[in-house]
Amino acid sequence: MAFGAKAGPWGAPALRRLLAELPKGWPPGLTVLTGDDLYHLDRAQAAILGHLVPDRDDPYALSILGDAPVTTGALAGAARSSGMFASRRVVLLRDVSMLEGEPEPLVAYAAKPTSESWIVVRAPKLDRKRKLHKALAESARCLEFRSAAGEAEMRALLAEIEAMAVAQGATLERDAAELLLDVCGADLQRAVSEIEKLATWNGGAKPRLGAADVRALVGGSGLLADWELADAVTAREPKDAAAAARRLLAAGGEPLRALGGLASRARALLKAKALESRGVSGKEVVDAARAWYFRDALQQGLKRYTLRELTAMPSKLYEADRALKSRSIDRGAVLEALVADLTTEAG
CATH number for position 288: 1.20.272.10
Residues in Cβ contact with 343 at an 8 Å cutoff, skipping those fewer than 6 apart: 232, 233, 236, 237, 238, 241, 242
Residues linked to residue 34 through DSSP beta bridges, in sequence order: 144
**Pairing verdict, β 29-34 and 70-71:** unpaired
CATH number of the CATH domain containing 158: 1.10.8.60
Which of 109, 144, 179 lies at the terminal end of a domain, its last residue? 144
Find the mean pLDDT for residues 40-54.
94
87 and 172 both lie in a single domain: no
Which of 106, 129, 144 lies at the terminal end of a domain, its last residue? 144
84 and 167 both lie in a single domain: no
Q: Per residue in 179-203, pLDDT tens?
A: 888 888 888 998 998 899 888 888 8
Which of 173, 193, 221 lies at the terminal end of a domain, its last residue? 221
Q: Per residue in 274-294, pLDDT tens?
A: 999 999 998 899 888 888 878
Q: How many CB atoms lie within 10 A of CB 319?
A: 13
245 and 339 both lie in a single domain: yes
| Residue 243 binned pLDDT confidence (cut-offs 50, 70, 90) | very high
Domain that holds residue 266: 223-343
For residues 4 and 203, which has the higher predicted lDDT (pLDDT)? 203
195 in any annotated domain: yes
Cα–Cα distance measured from residue 184 to residue 178, given in angstroms and rounded to the nearest whole number: 10
335 alpha-carbon distance from chain centroid: 26
132 and 177 both lie in a single domain: no
Does 139 score more than 80 pLDDT? Answer: yes
230 and 216 both lie in a single domain: no
274 and 183 both lie in a single domain: no
Does 83 score more than 70 pLDDT? Answer: no
Query: What pLDDT is attached to residue 24?
Result: 93
Query: What pLDDT is attached to residue 219?
Result: 57
Contact 18, 98 (CB under 8 A): no
| Residue 226 binned pLDDT confidence (cut-offs 50, 70, 90) | confident
Cα–Cα distance measured from residue 178 to residue 235, given in angstroms and rounded to the nearest whole number: 18
For residues 9 and 335, which has the higher predicted lDDT (pLDDT)? 335
Half-sphere exposure of 31 (CA within 13 A, CB side): 27
2 in any annotated domain: no
1 in any annotated domain: no
233 and 325 both lie in a single domain: yes
For residues 246 and 151, which has the higher predicted lDDT (pLDDT)? 246
176 conformational bin, left if phi > 0, alpha if psi -120 to 50, beta if neither: alpha
Tell me the whole-structure pTM to 2 decimals.
0.74
3 in any annotated domain: no
Does 266 score more than 50 pLDDT? Answer: yes
Residues linked to residue 63 through DSSP beta bridges, in sequence order: 91
Per the structure, how many domains does the chain have? Answer: 3
124 in any annotated domain: yes
Percent of the chain scored above 90 by pLDDT?
60
Does 3 score more than 50 pLDDT? Answer: no
177 and 230 both lie in a single domain: no
100 in any annotated domain: yes
Mean pLDDT, the chain, whole residue set: 88
Q: Per residue in 119-136, pLDDT tens?
A: 999 999 999 999 999 999
CATH number of the CATH domain containing 66: 3.40.50.300
Burial of 27 (0-12, 13-18, 19+ CB in 10 A): middle
79 and 160 both lie in a single domain: no
Query: What pLDDT is attached to residue 325?
Result: 87
Find the mean pLDDT for residues 218-235.
79
Tally of residues, the chain: 347
125 and 228 both lie in a single domain: no
E strands of 127-250, at which residues?
142-144
188 and 249 both lie in a single domain: no
Pick from 21, 201, 28: which is nearest to 120 by CA? 28
22 and 138 both lie in a single domain: yes
4 in any annotated domain: no
Residues linked to residue 143 through DSSP beta bridges, in sequence order: 33
Query: What pLDDT is attached to residue 148?
Result: 87
331 in any annotated domain: yes
Query: What pLDDT is attached to residue 5?
Result: 42
